[in-house]
Amino acid sequence: MATSRSEPARTAPAGRASLPNDAAVDPPFRRVLIANRGEIAVRIIRACRELGVEAVAVYSDSDRAAAHVRLADVAVRLGPPPPTESYLRIDAVVKAALDTGAEAIHPGYGFLAERAAFARAVEAAGLVFIGPPPAAIEALGDKLHARRLADSVGVEAVPGTLEPAPVDRPDQVHAIVAEAERIGFPLLIKAAAGGGGRGMRRVERARDLPAALASGSREAASAFGDGSVYLEREIRPARHVEVQLLGDGEGTVVALGERDCSLQRRHQKLVEEAPAPGREPDARRRLHEMAVRLGAAAGLRNAATAEFLLAPDGSFYFLEVNTRLQVEHGVTELVAGVDIVREQLAIAAGRPLSEAPRAAAARAAEPEGHAIEVRLSAEDPGRDFAPTPGGVRRWIMPAGPGVRVDTAIEAGDRVPPEYDNLIAKVMVHGADREAAIDRLRRALDETEIAGIQTTLPFHRFVARDPSFRAGEVSTDWVAARWDGPAEHARAARAAQLAAGLAALDRAAADGAAAMATPLRHITTSDGRWRRSGIEGLVDRWPR
């Protein structure tokens, strides 16, 4: 049953009449349901508003008063907080769209975004799925199929196997070990049907391979319902670079540019930037061309991202394709000057690519400006990035020139434990990378969050780190620079504790008002651990 919180559903919200004429004359749809929550739901609702499209939100019981529910024209309860009883219920989401008269469904990212079964259910109900066709999602969601597709169009994938490993064939053990030795150790066992590190195993010796294959397959089956795994060479140090693609129903596929997402921890991205630092125009152009070939071969329509690993020798290897809007799409929007969500809506309505993405693609190899995004999450970077759900007491986001914040959080909100820990994306845009880093440092110093611990101290550390400024990034950067080896980590924790105690001593001497003093007024040395320790303490001190 459709609701709109505790008030009647609005069909003509305040401000609709003031939309620009060109946005309201021919909107791509009359009403769109957003099958997601949090900042991405808010982001899509805002794009709908600008186009004169009404937005339908869905929510679980823990999100009843969430920002995306308040902002939407109509909201529908899906069920209890667990995702399997709410946001992952295909039947409930499709019914909500039909009951509210929505013409299309935008999945955002996560949840049902890359499930071909969901896209098919949407289309079977006579609705439009705002994303790639189900066949493309299914084909590219299978990493082995994607690797074979890359091979067929002359795009080199990370060296490895193109077929599932014979996990349940004891008679094939010798053959798979021989194949592993051909690929070279150390190597990775990876799930064919999913990502996020689930089912992944690192193997350094041939004798460890059979057990790792079995355990990786079991975890993949539990996480994705498919235990297929394959072998892939480990490339280290590597950089993770991805290309933003858009394709329309007329067969046109373009690359809007690339993003560097190398700062990761346990295969989860923490910082993204566009363009990738240190790349020459010719190298960018070749990378974009490879990504476009992949998208065209897969019959891409709407938005997708082709991901690559950059090896130390400068070689790019295809990794996978994500058939959805990416978390970090905003940095590409800032550099390319294209509203990707707006384009998604238009493409789904059957319209060709507009002039904006075509022009952006033409200049993508030589972009102007630089953008960086940091993912603020409810996690404690001083405790192995442990989740820290809870109530937000103070929430001040940065502003000013070149700063964009995508969030759905306000002071007084509660971060629920059932969902992803991402609470805000802070993005900056500058004339070049140096200017963008300076702006990022300033923006993060303006940010104030209290009530829960967040990753803000980690991101402040990144913005001040000389190796990050120099562009010396890789997928090992966080482990080396933040986590460090065991002895370094223990020393770091001791330093953070000492810094915290020093701040407490100062508070006792100066009174409680000292703890409410903005960070910029706290005098510290430039020692990275002392500074991050004081920042961490102030950030989580309840004001």
The string of pLDDT tens digits covering residues 223-241 is: 888 899 999 999 999 999 9
- Quick check: 9 pLDDT over 50? no
Residues 449-474 have pLDDT tens digits of 999 999 999 999 999 999 999 999 99
Q: In terms of Cα–Cα distance, which of 215, 218, 213, 188 is closest to 203?
A: 188
- Identical fold for domains 159-233 and 239-479, yes or no, is no
Residues 31-87 have pLDDT tens digits of 999 999 999 999 999 999 999 999 999 999 999 999 999 999 999 999 999 999 999
Structure tokens at 397: 């986001």
What is the band of 524 on the pLDDT scale with cuts at 50, 70, 90?
very low
Please give the average per-residue pLDDT across 25-35, as a whole number.
94
- Quick check: 353 pLDDT over 70? yes
Residues 125-178 have pLDDT tens digits of 999 999 999 999 988 888 999 999 999 999 999 999 999 999 888 888 899 999
Please give the average per-residue pLDDT across 119-126, as a whole number.
98
Q: Domain coordinates of the chain in residue numbers? A: 2-130, 159-233, 239-479, 483-540
**Rounded to a whole number, what is the distance in angstroms from the first to the last CA of the chain?**
41
Please give the average per-residue pLDDT across 515-521, as a whole number.
46
Burial of residue 157, with CB atoms counted within 10 A of its CB: 0-12 exposed, 13-18 middle, 19 or more buried: buried
Instruction: Of 128-132, 166-170, 342-346, 410-414, give the lowest mean pLDDT range.
Output: 166-170
- Quick check: 534 pLDDT over 70? no
- Quick check: 14 pLDDT over 50? no
Alpha-carbon Rg for the chain, nearest whole angstrom, is 24
Residue 354: alpha-carbon gap to chain centroid: 25
What is the band of 222 on the pLDDT scale with cuts at 50, 70, 90?
confident
- What crossing angle do the helices spanning 38-51 and 340-348 adopt, rounded to 10°? 70
pLDDT at 489: 57
Question: Of all residues in the chain, what percent carry a pLDDT higher than 70?
Answer: 84
What is the band of 542 on the pLDDT scale with cuts at 50, 70, 90?
very low
Q: Alpha-carbon distance 188 to 55, whole Å?
A: 43
pLDDT at 465: 96
Burial of residue 511, with CB atoms counted within 10 A of its CB: 0-12 exposed, 13-18 middle, 19 or more buried: exposed
pLDDT at 7: 36
Contact partners, residue 44, CB within 8 Å, separation at least 6: 32, 34, 36, 55, 106, 108, 341
Whole-model pTM: value is 0.85
pLDDT at 492: 57
What is the band of 484 on the pLDDT scale with cuts at 50, 70, 90?
confident
Q: Between residues 537 and 332, which one has the greater pLDDT? A: 332
Q: In terms of Cα–Cα distance, which of 72, 13, 79, 16 is closest to 41?
A: 72
Neighbours of 236 (CB within 10 A): 12
Report the top-level CATH class of 2-130: alpha beta
- Quick check: 362 pLDDT over 90? yes
Q: What are phi and psi of 104, to 5 degrees?
A: -150, 165
Q: In terms of Cα–Cα distance, which of 293, 295, 288, 238 is closest to 267?
A: 238
Ramachandran region of residue 142, left (φ > 0), alpha (ψ -120 to 50) or beta? beta
pLDDT at 527: 47
The residues annotated as belonging to the active site are 324
- Quick check: 19 pLDDT over 60? no
What is the band of 195 on the pLDDT scale with cuts at 50, 70, 90?
confident
pLDDT at 447: 97
Query: Burial code of 473-499, b = ≥16 C-beta within 10 A, e = fewer?
Result: bbbebbeebbeeeeeeeeebeebbeeb
Coil, helix or strand at residue 138? helix
What is the band of 528 on the pLDDT scale with cuts at 50, 70, 90?
very low
Q: Alpha-carbon distance 172 to 22, whole Å?
A: 63
Q: Between residues 52 and 537, which one has the greater pLDDT? A: 52
The CATH number, out of the four listed (3.40.50.1110, 3.30.750.24, 3.40.50.10580, 3.30.1490.20), of the domain defined by the range 159-233: 3.30.1490.20
Q: Alpha-carbon distance 224 to 194, whole Å?
A: 6
pLDDT at 506: 60
Q: Calculate the CA dihedral of residues 226, 36, 118, 228 and round it to 10 degrees.
A: -10
- Quick check: 432 pLDDT over 60? yes
- Quick check: 531 pLDDT over 80? no
Please give the average per-residue pLDDT across 116-123, as a whole number.
97
Cα angle for residues 206, 208, 210 (degrees, 5° grid): 90
CATH architecture for residues 239-479: 2-Layer Sandwich (3.30)
Secondary structure (H, E, C), 278-322: CCCHHHHHHHHHHHHHHHHHCCCCEEEEEEEEECCCCCEEEEEEE
Instruction: Give the Å distances, CA to CA, from 176 to 173, 189, 209, 210, 213.
Output: 5, 12, 9, 9, 10
Mean pLDDT of all residues in the chain? 88
Structure tokens at 446: 């303006």
